[in-house]
């Protein structure tokens, strides 16, 4: 009986790893779809959060779970949603200004930003290897920015801002999500992102920022793929996998997203022809720092 239970646990863990890798692989397509969708970053994110939030309404028991959340925390989750919104806007602005590879690469900087933001919220000291890995990123970014066009530099700056906001909202989620239902919290966060953008979009018109709000016929397919296949579905898969996989293993696996994203950009968008070999050397250095972080963090506990 005990052997059977152990076998069942191993089977659950194996399934969880498969689910998590599918989740991260699907996230790798977000940059590709962002490049293929013709509308600008602001309306693109508006449609993404609108479709995703609507899809979450079909999750059973959502309203009941929303009512169980303390009112004092609702404002916190809504603020986190605004941070998520800003992160996505800059992420897609980065892709539009440069390419999918640059946008995804910048997301690899999120763990480095987290290394400095997390101690502020959890009142702990910054560890020596966090500083070392942050310094290691500098030559990597130097190699990436060599011999690329001015538009790519702009995209790189947008991507760095996007990574900063990603680290910020991830840290706040870790601090405040506690034991609350993740689906209802996601509904609140993405719903507040939709409200925030619904206010911002008309204001951008007043200051002379022009863009096409309505997606083209081909955009609709990409938008639904982005919202459902690359947002709702991987989110549910990640929740299922977390029941059987440790936080360390999850973090390490999610770090594969830039690798998947850049690889997919090479295959689908042929972006390997747009940059120099130095770009990829910089990518290797940055990814090395990202993958080293969880290992060094674990060693520091012993």
Number of domains present in the structure of the chain: 1
Mean per-residue pLDDT, 41-47: 93
φ and ψ of 231, to 5 deg: -125, -65
Three-state DSSP at 177 gives coil
> Does 11 fall in a domain?
no
- The answer to whether residue 193 sits within a structural domain is yes
- CB-CB contact of 92 with 45 (8 Å): yes
State both tokens at 105: 């690469």
**Banded model confidence at residue 167, pLDDT cuts 50, 70, 90:** confident
Give the model's confidence band at 98: pLDDT under 50 very low, under 70 low, under 90 confident, else very high: confident
pLDDT of residue 252: 58
Angle at 76 between CA 71 and CA 80, to 5 degrees: 140
* Mean local confidence (pLDDT), 247-256: 60
Q: Is residue 258 part of a domain?
A: yes
> In this model, does residue 173 exceed pLDDT 90?
no
Structure tokens of 177?
């999500």
| Phi and psi at residue 37, to the nearest 5° | -70, 130
C-alpha 123/C-alpha 237 separation (Å) is 32
Among residues 199, 238, 216, which one has the least CA distance to residue 37? Answer: 216
Q: Is residue 13 part of a domain?
A: no
Domain span holding position 163: 26-300
The confidence score (pLDDT) of residue 219 equals 93
Residues 202-216 have pLDDT tens digits of 887 666 566 788 999
Choose the weakest-confidence range: 145-149, 191-195, 243-247. Answer: 243-247
Residue 236 placed within a domain: yes
Average pLDDT over the chain, rounded to an integer: 80
Cα torsion at 276, 87, 55, 27 (round to 10°)? 30
Domain contains 6: no
Residues 261-287 have a mean pLDDT of: 75
In percent, the amount of the chain with pLDDT more than 70 equals: 82
């Amino acid at each position: 009986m005990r052997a059977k239970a152990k076998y069942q646990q191993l089977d659950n863990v194996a399934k969880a790893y498969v689910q998590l890798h599918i989740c991260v692989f699907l996230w790798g397509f977000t940059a590709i779809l962002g490049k293929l969708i013709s509308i600008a970053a602001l309306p693109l994110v508006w449609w993404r959060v609108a479709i995703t939030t609507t899809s979450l309404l079909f999750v059973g028991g959502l309203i009941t779970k929303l009512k169980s959340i303390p009112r004092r925390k609702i404002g916190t989750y809504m603020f986190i949603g605004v941070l998520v919104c800003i992160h996505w806007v800059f992420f897609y602005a980065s892709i539009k200004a440069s390419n999918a590879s640059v946008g995804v690469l910048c997301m690899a900087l999120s763990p480095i930003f987290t290394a400095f933001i997390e101690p502020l919220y959890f009142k702990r000291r910054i560890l020596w290897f966090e500083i070392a890995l942050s310094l290691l990123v500098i030559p990597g970014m130097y190699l990436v920015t060599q011999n690329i066009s001015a538009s790519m530099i702009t995209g790189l700056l947008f991507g760095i801002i996007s990574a900063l906001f990603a680290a910020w909202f991830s840290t706040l989620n870790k601090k405040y999500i506690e034991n609350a239902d993740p689906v209802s919290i996601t509904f609140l966060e993405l719903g507040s992102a939709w409200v925030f953008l619904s206010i911002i979009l008309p204001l951008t018109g007043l200051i002379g920022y022009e863009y096409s709000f309505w997606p083209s016929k081909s955009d609709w397919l990409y938008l639904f793929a982005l919202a459902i296949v690359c947002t709702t579905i991987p989110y549910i898969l990640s929740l299922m996998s977390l029941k059987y996989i440790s936080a360390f293993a999850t973090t390490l696996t999610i770090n594969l997203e830039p690798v998947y994203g850049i690889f997919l950009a090479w295959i689908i968008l042929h972006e390997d022809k747009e940059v120099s070999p130095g770009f990829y050397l910089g990518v290797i250095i940055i990814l090395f720092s990202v993958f080293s972080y969880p290992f060094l963090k674990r060693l520091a506990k012993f």
